[in-house]
Structure 1
Amino acid sequence: MGHPNIAVVVMDTARATETVPADPAVTPTLAELAAEGTEYTNAFTSAPWTLPSHASLFTGTYTSRHGAHGGHTHLGEELRTLAEALGTEGYETVGISNNTWITEEFGYTRGFETFHKTWQLVQSETDLGEVTRAEHARGKLDAFVSQALSGNPLVNGLNALYDEFVRTNDDDGAARTTEWIGDWLDEREEDRPFFCFANYIEPHIEYGPPREYAEPFLPEGGYDEATAIRQDPRAYDVGEYDIDDREFELLEGLYKGELAYLDAKIGEFVDALKDAGEWEDTVLIVCGDHGENVGDHGFFGHQYNVYDTLLHVPLVIHGGAFEPATGEDELVQLLDLFPTLLDLADADAPAACEQAQGRSLLAGGPDRESVVAEYVSPQPSMEQLEERFGEIPEELYEYDRSLRAIRTREYKYVRGSDGTEELYDVEQDPEERFDIASTEAEIAADLADELDDWLDSFEHTEEGGEVEMTDATKGRLRDLGYL
């Protein structure tokens, strides 16, 4: 294919439970892509939430190496990004984001010639989200006045109106994303290949898919009941309210509806590539950046743990050398995409290749024996929870630790910075219900040694310290359940 176009579509918060193997009843577009390309059924993210997972995707490195996590929410400039490396190779680099973390504020736009945030009509570093979020007219006016002179007042006014009145409540940006990409494809005059990155956030909290996409996964008449359930993971964590089993079942129905709706929009993304005459020359990667707990293990959202509900994600690659091979069950990691895409582009990028900690899926060789994931710092921290809620339950302080996990086909070992250890037989106990660390101490010790060897095998970043955020950014992150 020479220098193919490369398109990476992230289904933010898509877990394997509903998407691996791709199910035509939930995600027919993904299932068709899997049938025509390669589906990796044992793909794992290196971190259980957006910021560090995307940093790994963009740099090919683990969290301890790139340094973007709950304690330091910024991707530093020490490492080359995929967009930078492909841009140097002559690729047009274009990104579009629906997630507040994946913006210039947190260091994620380096290397992109064009980067679009769907919540803004005119792209600006000034975020007027607090205007939209204010409940009363006076609050909206006060928020606008406080921000209007930061940057271009006309641009700020247009963005405030757009955010308030044009964006729809039953779409978190997927429709706007696909429309924007279609327009970009139609208008581009470049004859060079492109790298297009798109973060779709639909499966993320709050789950609110259009009724027709959710109803197939809900009991008759259950849509209104399901959408009335409060979706505030951090308030749930601190015991401010409870969710019973039936309500979690309804929320899971909404979550599937979000996946189905997003899948339809990915179908439109594919159609846009075909209409532009680019499909045959494009390698399309569709993946989840991390998963979700919808009542699983007593959690709501994707913080404070490293269960497979958060780490096991869909990964389908279509085009180029990725011919039909549905069911490829080798252990792979999302950070393997970094060297894989450099290989696809036949990139002469020695610095980028040297930093990569994954391995190209085109390289062949023996299957990987294990994968690793890190949860370096809780997000939000206990201090942030206290700031929002005041006194929090004593048991929540157990989450004030880092976690690292190493997983083989048979076992998964998890170690906390507080000295805790867990071991699961994921072959016999895929839901990770029974901790066997005490009864299988030898296996736990062997995996602990392997984890230590991995930690000692590379230089860890020294990045640290809190990163300042605007009030509008904090508000958007609260809406997503991060603060």
Structure 2
Amino acid sequence: MNIFIYVLDALRADHVSCYGYDRNTTPTINRLAEEGVRYENCFSPATWTKPVGASLLTGAYPPLHGTRSREDVFDVDITRLPETLSEVGITSVGFSTMGNVSASIGYDRGFETYRDLYKDPDIVAKRQTRDTDSEELEHEGRDEIALPRAEDLTESVVEWLETDAEDDFFAFCWSIEPHMPYNPPEGYRDYTDPEYDGPVDGQRDTLPDVETDADLEQLKGLYDGGIRYNDDELGRIVDMLKTQGIYDETMIVVLGDHGDAFNEHDRLTHGHLPYDELIHVPLVVKPATESDVKPQVVEETVSLVDVPATVMGAAGVSEVPETVEGRELPPFGPSGSSSPVFSETRFRDVYPSFYSVRTDEWKYMEVDEPDRDVGTMLDTVKQVYQRGLIWEIVRNPRYYLERYFHDENRFLYDLDDDPGEQTNLVEKQPEKADEMESLLTTWIRKGERRHEKLSSVDDLDIDNETSEQLKQLGYVE
């Protein structure tokens, strides 16, 4: 049996056509959904990449696996998916286009081969590049890294399938698209307005210029073009699996690690309050033919944390590590709602942290503001200066300040009556808010206590290529 996990970075569920989107952005994912299981209500454990990657490889939420902030490396002594699969004779290979899911910060453990494509010399030579300072890849060992395209990932995977793939493999593939910058190649810009002459071009530095409906629609069109482009590249890999005669015996898992916001709550991109535009993600699982799972749509609330347990079960792993907090997704495992599901987004001590707990009916979110002491404020000013953001903040203070300062710190939504999360019920439903807050607090404390009991390996050095890319993508300030 083969297992193939493919992650599209920053792909939100409601821009996937089989989730009801009115643009045909994902014909490949649609076909996989028709042959497998589509999870209508899947949610991410974070609103940015690094902690989600660790959750996908451990089945643990961020408080347990400990890869929570920008400074963290993935070094906790916790059993990982490739290590568990090796016990049943499955070899593992990883392909990453993202510095936040790289060997240099610990994501390669357990893999026989792990390739950080953003540092590949051939890809650096032909792609848009960024310096490590702007990407804030603080521990990379070089000055320049690439932003690989989905086709670079495809070519690497296809070459591996043709030359090095063995029987019974696990392939873990992380695509950078449709993550910002939104820059679909020629031939994939049909969703944009050819007459648009505004300032928005999909690059991060033009986000403060999104002011009109036309600006926002142009941004969405670029984002959707990136989705369609990446979906076509995924289709090339699926075709190769069929050419190799191994498609039927391969379990294919396709997902988004988090979403991107388009001003549904006056914010763009990701990494902030976990509204559903950021944590509601697509998840499609095409089973191997040896499975008796039939094509279907699952309505139950599930989490990406459930993916590793599902893969282990399908692969015949008899003893799931005790640190796996997820369950086997139905219908691979028993049905019955797994809600509540949780999320946590933490960056640095100088920034707010964001948390959520979600059930089938209710959503509670909380903002944990940092201490605004003199030392913290000086650190914030230092980071603004180092990133060269002073002029940008002066030019558009609202865009930057609203990311880090909030009028409200607690949010409660009745999802049956208010699926768009527009009416905060904390004051009208204080008992329900306190109940949900208690669930959230218990979850955080339990995970942190279990994390403290895990031994850690030696700290890892993050090389400069990774540090640079993270700065360019806006993950490190």
TM-score norm. by structure 1 comes to 0.79
2-structure distance, mates of 1:229, 1:254: 7
2:201 corresponds to which of 192, 205, 228: 228
Q: Aligned match of 2:176 in 201, 212, 216?
A: 201
Question: Which residue of 293, 297, 300 maps to 1:327?
Answer: 297
Task: Give the corresponding residue for 2:451.
Answer: 461
- What residue ranges of structure 1 are gaps of 5+ in the alignment? 136-146, 151-155, 383-399
Which stretch shifts more, 199-208 or 366-375? Answer: 366-375
Q: Is the 8 A contact 2:92 2:111 kept in 1?
A: yes
Give, in angstroms, the shift of residue 32 of structure 1.
Answer: 1.1
Secondary structure (helix, strand or coil) at the match of 2:251 reads: strand
Deviation at 1:325, TM superposition (A): 3.7
Residues 179, 242 of structure 1: alpha-carbon distance in 2 compared, 3 angstrom cutoff: closer
Q: Is the 8 A contact 1:72 1:467 kept in 2?
A: no
Q: Does 1:96 align with 2:89?
A: no
Distance 1:227 1:262 in 2: 22
Deviation at 1:447, TM superposition (A): 1.6
1:288 is aligned to: 256
Partners in 1 of 2:181 and 2:334 — Cα distance?
40
Q: Does 1:74 align with 2:73?
A: yes
**Deviation at residue 77 of structure 1 after TM alignment:** 3.5
**Equivalent residue, structure 1, for 2:431:** 442
1:332 Cα shift?
0.6
Structure 1 residue 182 and structure 2 residue 158: aligned?
yes
2:9 is aligned with 1:12: yes
2:309 is the counterpart of 1:339: yes
One-letter identity of the residue aligned with 1:356: V
SS in 1 for 2:214: helix
SS in 1 for 2:99: coil
Q: 2:347 aligns to what?
A: 378
- The Cα of 1:453 is off from its aligned counterpart by 3.7
* Residue 219 (structure 1) aligned with residue 218 (structure 2): no
Cα-to-partner distance string for 1:213-252 (whole Å, 9 max, x where unaligned): 221x222444x7576354238x84xxxx564432122101
**Contact 2:182 2:202 (8 Å CA) reproduced:** no
1:63–1:90 Cα change, 3 Å: same
Mapped partners of 2:292, 2:198: distance in 1:
43
Q: CA RMSD in A?
A: 3.2
| Cα distance change, pair 228–322 in 1 and its aligned pair in 2 (3 A) | farther
Contact persistence 2:103–2:116 (CA under 8 A): no
Mapped partners of 2:181, 2:51: distance in 1: 21
Question: For 1:16-415, what aligned pairs fall within 5 Å after superposition?
Answer: 16-19=13-16, 21=19, 23=21, 25-70=24-69, 72-121=71-120, 132-133=129-130, 172-188=148-164, 190=166, 192-215=167-190, 217-222=191-196, 228=201, 230-232=203-205, 236=208, 243-320=211-288, 321=291, 323-348=293-318, 350=319, 352-361=320-329, 362-375=332-345, 377-378=346-347, 382=350, 400-415=351-366
Q: In the aligned structure 1, how far is the partner of 2:7 from the partner of 2:286?
A: 14
Shift of 1:98: 0.7
Following the alignment from structure 1 to structure 2, what is the Cα–Cα distance between the partners of residues 180 and 302?
Answer: 28
Secondary structure (helix, strand or coil) at the match of 2:336 reads coil
Show the counterpart of 1:395. Answer: none
Per-residue displacement from partner, 1:95-139 (whole Å, max 9, x unpaired)? 101111111111101011111122344699xx999x95469xxxx
Q: Quick one: structure 1 residues 322 and 213, their matched pair in 2 at CA, closer, same or farther if it must change by over 3 Å?
A: farther
Q: What percentage of aligned pairs have identical amino acids?
A: 31
Residue aligning to 1:430: 419
CA drift at 1:420: 2.7
Asked if 2 retains the 8 angstrom alpha-carbon contact of 1:226 and 1:251, the reply is no
| Offset, 1:297 | 1.4
1:344–1:256: structure 2 CA closer, same or farther, 3 Å change rule?
same
Counterpart-to-counterpart distance in 2, 1:473 and 1:178: 21
DSSP 3-state at the match of 2:92: strand
Distance in 2 of aligned mates of 1:261 and 1:132: 20
**One-letter code of the match for 1:10?**
V
Q: Does 1:482 align with 2:475?
A: yes
Q: 1:331: how far off?
A: 0.6
> 1:180 is matched by which residue type in structure 2?
S
Q: Is the 8 A contact 2:180 2:203 kept in 1?
A: no
2:210–2:216 CA contact under 8 A, matched in 1:
no
Say if 1:43 and 1:315, in contact at 8 Å, map to a contact too.
yes
- Partner residue of 1:138? none
Distance 1:445 1:8, change over 3 A: same
Contact 1:21/1:327 (<8 A) preserved? no
Number of positions where the alignment pairs a residue of Structure 1 with one of Structure 2: 421
Instruction: For 2:111 and 2:102, locate their aligned partners in 1 and report how far apart those are by CA, in whole Å.
Output: 11
> When the two structures are superposed, what TM-score results if normalisation uses the length of structure 2?
0.80
Residues 46 and 53, structure 1, Cα contact 8 Å, conserved in 2: yes
User: 2:8–2:255: 8 Å Cα contact kept in structure 1?
Assistant: yes
Give the distance between the partners of 1:33 and 1:225, measured in 2 at CA.
37
Structure 1 322/433 Cα, relative in aligned 2: closer, same or farther at 3 Å?
Answer: farther
- After superposition, the C-alpha distances for 1:161-205 in whole angstroms (9 at most, x for unaligned) are xx7xxx7xxx83211211121111111363x30000100111100
Q: CA–CA distance in 2 between the matches of 1:172 and 1:402? A: 30
Query: What letter corresponds to residue 231 of structure 1 in structure 2?
Result: R
Query: SS of the residue aligned with 1:412?
Result: strand
The one-letter amino acid of 1:109's match is: D
